[in-house]
Structure 1
Amino acid sequence: MTVIYHEADADPTPLAGATVAVVGYGNQGRCWALNLRDSGLDVRVHVRADTSRDAAVADGFAVADLDGMHGADVVCLLVPDDVIPTVEVVPRDDALVVLASGYCLAFDRVRYPCDVGMIAPRMLGPEVRRCYEEGVGFITALGVHAEVTGWAKARLLALAGAIGGLRQGVIELTAMQEAVLDLAVEQALAPRCAG
């Protein structure tokens, strides 16, 4: 049975006082960081010393190197799927690691010893930001991949609400379901529609 969550299903309490590390400041990272900050969360951006760092500083974020993410309560890995396995993530046992795609989780490219989940907006980051600013939602998939603390789903729902993803409803999918859907759209549907 398909499960869809809405704003009423999320309690922000599990993220109260939490530090959120946003790793990457590109397509999804910038928009998530801005939305999370605008929702009142303590966001820190972790990027390499390049133009993305300059952009994060210009947007007023506390910026640190990648190794600074390890002490955060929530680590949002918002870099491309092919880069995620190369990023050394050493989260606390009670942390939550979140990916914006199911690919690396579904195909066992990463493992973390803590709560792990997916919040996958079905649109590009700038649209995620625009929808947030306009007060409308966007199609999003959400799934718990690993449960350690007993709070994974509650924290994922709170985070999805903070980025604006619960306004139209979030569909619960496994990482494999989201990855297969994404691959089907990219490899089968999109080329067919373009041609």
Structure 2
Amino acid sequence: MKIYYDNEVSLDAVKDKVIAVIGYGSQGRAQALNMRDSGLNVILGLRPDGRSWKKAIEDNMNVKTIEEAAKEADIIHMLIPDEVQPIVYKKYIEKHLTEGKTLSFSHGYNIHYGLIIPPDNVNVTMVAPKAPGVKVRETYLEGFGVPGLVAVEQDYTGNALDIALGMAKAIGLTRVGVIKTTFKEETETDLFGEQVVLCGGVTELIKAAFETLVEAGYSPEMAYFETCHELKLIVDLIYQRGLEGMWQSVSNTAEYGGLTRRKRVINEESRKAMKEILKEIQEGDFAKEWSLENQAGAVKLNALRRLEREHLIEKVGKRLRKMCGLEK
């Protein structure tokens, strides 16, 4: 694995380029502002009637329509949601992706699954911060940064990696370290982590534990504190000190109970399900399902959102988060 640091990377490949950031959400705003503040020529491609347009103007950004930005730019950096990228690309960007330009992403999804197929005479690169946009901006302003990834899917000009690394430096990622990866590896591991642990696995584990306590007659408030609220404390310890550091920071009772019982929860059946989910990601089944879901108007997603919103843990949690000063 190759890791690039600040002193190894130059802005030379990007300092004279026009970089169009398409989208101004959490990542779009952070990355655009950081690159601008690093001295790069950044423009934004946004919908004139979109919510981000006004915010971008307030931030003194050079704002254009998506099509105008794509036409003017040397580097087009796609930071709109995965599900709308193919439509926007086809409608506004494809015709302006002329020879020698660079099409850049922060997630390999649409390239890896063939939902966007760029011409052969352009670069296709990735610059991906491994943190939420607010953290990307916050740490940059503090003179530090967050780690990131770079990848090159297509190197037409011969310096596509230098372009990706230059952008990474301007965003502040090389201050911490940037790992070179591939579109395939980034996409498949990212989806797997989201589905099995970070978003899917952990929320279902919390809900199942909460329901178990409530069904056994314990108060929902106690169940919430023990299965959800305190999770942040443990995650912070793991984030800062690793698994061993976390075990050293909890009581011996908690350590023994956790180590001796955890495989009864995450067992062979769980591992089998993980392998099945990974296979669905690798073979493109999940990507096909997600495309069909969007074509159908996200009916299933909206129904699942409603069920999550109406769950008892959310009603109890909202009240307790207000009590703790975490939510207004």
Asked if TM exceeds 0.5, the reply is yes
* Match in the other structure for 1:62: 62
Describe how 1:148-159 pairs up with structure 2 within 5 A. 148-159=156-167
CA contact (8 A) 1:76 1:98 kept: yes
CA offset at residue 60 of structure 1?
0.4
Bigger CA radius of gyration:
2
Residues 99-124 of structure 1, C-alpha deviations (whole Å, 9 max, x = no match): 01011121111122310101111211
The aligned counterpart of 1:34 is: 33
Query: 1:100 aligned to 2:126?
Result: no
Q: Distance in 1 between matches of 2:157 and 2:16?
A: 17
Could you tell me the TM-score, scaled by structure 2's length? 0.57
The answer (yes or no) to whether the contact 1:102–1:120 under 8 Å persists in 2 is no
Q: How much has 1:10 moved relative to structure 2?
A: 1.3
Is 1:21–1:74's contact at 8 Å kept on the other side of the alignment? yes
Distance, in Å, in 1 between the alignment partners of 2:164 and 2:19 is: 12
Comparing both structures, which one devotes a greater share of its residues to strand?
1
| DSSP-derived class of the 1:83 partner | helix
Give the match for residue 9 of structure 2. 10
SS of the residue corresponding to residue 166 of structure 1 reads helix
Return 5+ residue gaps in structure 2 as ranges.
207-328
Q: Work out whether 1:111 is the aligned partner of 2:117.
A: yes
Of the candidates 180, 188, 192, which is equivalent to residue 201 of structure 2? 192
- For 1:165 and 1:37, how far apart are their aligned partners in 2? 14
DSSP 3-state at the match of 1:43: strand
Question: What pairs with 1:44-83 in structure 2 (closer than 5 Å)?
Answer: 44-49=43-48, 50-68=50-68, 69-83=70-84
**More contact order relative to length (CA 8 Å, sep ≥ 6):** 1
CA distance in 1, matches of 2:159, 2:42: 20
Higher percent of residues as helix: 2
Equivalents in 2 of 1:42, 1:119: separation in Å? Answer: 17
Post-superposition offset of 1:137:
2.3
Percent of residue pairs bearing the same amino acid type? 34
Distance 1:71 1:95 in 2: 10
The count of aligned residue pairs is: 194
Counterpart residue number, 2:88: 87
Give 1:122-141 correspondences, 5 Å limit: 122-141=130-149
Please tell me whether residue 180 in structure 1 is matched to residue 179 in structure 2.
no
Alignment TM-score, normalising by the size of structure 1: 0.95
What is the aligned partner in structure 1 of residue 247 from structure 2? Answer: none
| Contact residue 106 and residue 126 of structure 2 kept, 8 A | yes
CA contact under 8 A between 1:22 and 1:33: conserved in structure 2? yes
SS of 1:46 mapped into structure 2: strand
Q: CA RMSD in A?
A: 1.2
8 Å Cα contact 2:15/2:41 also seen in 1: no
Whole-angstrom CA distance in 1 between matches of 2:102 and 2:7: 22
Unaligned runs of 5+ in 1: none
Rounded Cα–Cα distance in structure 1 between residues aligned with 2:149 and 2:11:
19
